[in-house]
Amino acid sequence: MNQLTKDILLGIITAFFFSAFIYFEEFGLTYKLINTLFGLTAFSLLLYIPKRSILIAGFTIGLLWFYWIGYSFKYQGVGYMEPIITIAFGFIYLLFFAPLALTNNTLLRAVLLFGLSFVEPFDWNWLQPELLFVNSYIGVYKYQLALVLLALALPSQLKYPYKYLPLLLLVGAVNYGYPPQQDAPLKIKLVATHIKQEDKWQRANLNKTISMIFNEIKKAQQEGYDLVVLPESVFPLFLNRYPDLINILLKASKEISIVTGGLLLQDNKHYNVSYIFDQGKMSIAKKLILVPFGEYIPLPKFAQKFINDTFFSSASDFVTAKKPTDFTIKGVTFRNAICYEATCQEIYEGDVKYVIAISNNAWFAPSIEPTLQKLLLEYYARKNGVTIYHSANYKGTGIIK
């Protein structure tokens, strides 16, 4: 076996260890000890493998984590972009990890890798290096990541008998617990729907969808729930333009509070929102953080219109709220989060105990996307001491703690 082949294999093996925790979770094989050992092995390899292997590892990690992103493009009428986007994410993360290939010094690599944990290519933040430890015996705070990297890098800088003394730093990286999380003092029904993305926006299916929604609300009310939560855009329409539907929801909310996803058309601008119906009144919580390339183009303005019109049929033109939205139901305050933004730290800033998150994961079915989203929700929930109530279409519905 020549050196090139060895370097390629070593890069692929590194990517496997770096990504394994996602696939263990996907197939119900998560064990804290295994995740701990695999995570430590992954970081060790990134610190010590040859420069060429770093590039192979970065490319393969991009594929293993994000192969599914291109799936949504077929619903924008540009399905031919799917393989292009998949390969593009491989190269994006090849470049992401490329700084590690500038040196063989393990300590310098550790510093660079820690710095990369703050980098979000194109505002896409779903590759958090410390996420590898979300279900392990190692904590997920930045200082714990720093201790792990130092513990693994420093032995190469020392000689016997002190060579492995830095491994003691791992004691400081152990997960000693997170801020306490509480259950909301309400009986909350989280509705999981299973509407295929290709069926979701078909007008022929609209009456069936609306009937399903009201059946779920009625069922939750009969079962004695205080609040029913339905997924993102479960109403596949600009709900504020349908006063008859709103009146029915307002009437129903006198018996049970309702949070549901829908679209909002206001001043000729499109918003992805949560509609909140409580005690005969309606409020609207607008999305704060849009999905890069899905709802906005994270490029300079001169390129935004061309790409939006050419590849997205002018669909990536949503508008955002100016700040996170809180709403109160029966005396309990919740922070609103819609899909991608539930995996962003901005949603958890301030005094937040409970988050209601709604998602539509059918864009990426079938894939590991809901599993990766769940791991990210656990990451943010635990380190912020927040309980997340998540209602999703396709997969992902549940209480996240």
Point out the residues that are catalytic: 232, 287, 339
- Kindly write down the DSSP assignment for every residue of 360-387, as one continuous string: EGGGG-SSSHHHHHHHHHHHHHHHHT-E
- Kindly write down the DSSP assignment for every residue of 185-252, as one continuous string: SS-EEE--B---HHHHT-GGGHHHHHHHHHHHHHHHHHTT-SEEE--TT-S-SBGGG-HHHHHHHHHH
Cα 56 to its chain centre, rounded Å, is 25
For residue 390, the cross-strand partners are 357, 398
Q: What is the largest CA-CA distance in the chain?
A: 78
Amino acid at 276: I
Parallel, antiparallel, or unpaired: how do β-strands 326-329 and 281-286 relate?
A: unpaired
Contact of 209 with 234, CB cutoff 8 Å? yes
User: Can you give the length of the chain in residues?
Assistant: 401
CA–CA distance, 234 with 195 (Å, rounded to integer):
9
Contact of 362 with 74, CB cutoff 8 Å? no
Cα 259 to its chain centre, rounded Å, is 21
Beta-carbon-side half-sphere exposure of residue 214 (alpha carbons within 13 Å): 13
CA–CA distance, 245 with 248 (Å, rounded to integer):
5
* Encoded tokens for 22: 């996602």
For residue 296, the cross-strand partners are 292
Place of tokens 């829908």: 262
* Encoded tokens for 154: 């420093």
CA–CA distance, 260 with 102 (Å, rounded to integer):
49
Q: Coil, helix or strand for 285?
A: strand
Residues with Cβ within 8 Å of 198's Cβ and at least 6 positions away in sequence, in order, are 75
In 3D, which of 237, 233, 238, 159 has the Cα closest to residue 203?
A: 237
